[in-house]
Amino acid sequence: MAEKTSGNLVKKIAQLKEAVAYLQKKKHEGAVQYAYTSSSQVLGSIRAEMQKLGLIITTSVTQAVVTPFTTKNGAPQFLTELWMTMTWVDTESGEELALPWYAQGVDNAEKGPGKAMTYGEKYFVLKQLNIATDKDDPDAYQQTYQSDEEKSSLKSDLITELGMTVDFNRVKEIWSKNPSLKDDQEFKDAVAKANQRLNAQPSK
């Protein structure tokens, strides 16, 4: 259950929401550029505003469960589930707001916990700050004005997410929102592997 606060911290979070409401909109050579927002972009974009407001976010893992499973091709995989506490802290007053959070990550080695932590932190920030994720926002992966470097970064982020997600609908969404990548063999392979992994995942 979330802790009750005196109100000042909540007001600061509201101010932060206003400051980053249009995180997804960038200016690029005079045109509006819609960019998929990676974890580093999300956290980096709010860092200056958080410093101005005297806000920090701390993360602690309260429970972790790792479930091994095998794909149809016999490849070992590990599903990491993390139950976390994400805490907003007002460094000026010491006021805190602790919120429960959950994240998952899938990997064939030891990277599952790190993936789950990174994914969880990113989406905590997105959801807490009400950063929209519909067709004109960070998860709308169609960019008209991206550079080659940005497109490559986007593909890399999507392939990483495909390797982590445990949601069939998310795989379908990534595929449907990225028609420009449908001829990219590496991207197609990542989608196929995600579907195979999810088909092989044991039911809870």
CA distance 133 to 140: 7
Tokens 């592997």 locate to: 193
| pLDDT over threshold 80, residue 77 | yes
Residue 92 structural domain: 8-144
Which pLDDT score is estimated for 202? 61
Three-state SS at 169: helix
Is residue 64 in a domain? yes
On whether the CB atoms of residues 9 and 95 are closer than 8 A, the answer is yes
| Burial category of 19 from C-beta neighbours within 10 Å (exposed 0-12, middle 13-18, buried 19 and up) | middle
On whether the CB atoms of residues 48 and 157 are closer than 8 A, the answer is no
On whether the CB atoms of residues 99 and 1 are closer than 8 A, the answer is no
CA distance 96 to 58: 10
Q: Is the dihedral of CA 45, 47, 53, 55 positive or negative?
A: positive
The token pair that represents 155 in the structure block: 């593909």
pLDDT bracket for residue 27 (50, 70, 90): very low
pLDDT bracket for residue 36 (50, 70, 90): very low
pTM of the model: 0.56
Say how many domains are in the chain: 1
Which pLDDT score is estimated for 12? 94
Is residue 176 in a domain? no
Is residue 116 in a domain? yes
Is residue 179 in a domain? no
Q: Measured at the alpha carbon of residue 104, what is the angle toward residues 98 and 105, in degrees to the nearest 5? A: 130
Is residue 32 in a domain? yes
Is residue 171 in a domain? no
Is residue 183 in a domain? no
What number is the average pLDDT over the span 141-146? 41
Is residue 56 in a domain? yes
| pLDDT over threshold 90, residue 97 | yes
pLDDT bracket for residue 136 (50, 70, 90): very low
